[in-house]
Amino acid sequence: MDKLSVAKQVSVVRLYLSGLSHDQIAAKTGVSKGSVANVVAEVRAGRFPEANGLLGTGGSAERAGD
């Protein structure tokens, strides 16, 4: 399986942080739901440094309401 480009991963993260579900993100990006879940898990675990600018000053990948 090919690894997602950083640009695609960042798109997934932005959509996740905007409140979309994994299914919605998969449909919008053309990425499988499993890959979406993997990207989100990496961000939440702090293993996706490219997302730091998207997370604000707190560095948390928690969405509002999560």
Q: Is 21 inside any structural domain?
A: yes
| Digitized pLDDT (tens) for each residue of the chain, 66 residues in all | 468 998 999 999 999 999 999 999 999 999 999 999 999 999 888 887 777 666 654 445 555 445
> Any residues with CB less than 8 A from the CB of 28 and at least 6 apart, and which?
15, 20
* Structural domains in the chain (count): 1
Q: Is 14 inside any structural domain?
A: yes
Q: Is 62 inside any structural domain?
A: no
Question: What's the predicted TM-score (pTM) here?
Answer: 0.75
Please tell me the total number of residues recorded for the chain in this structure: 66
Q: Is 60 inside any structural domain?
A: no
Domain with 23 in it = 6-54
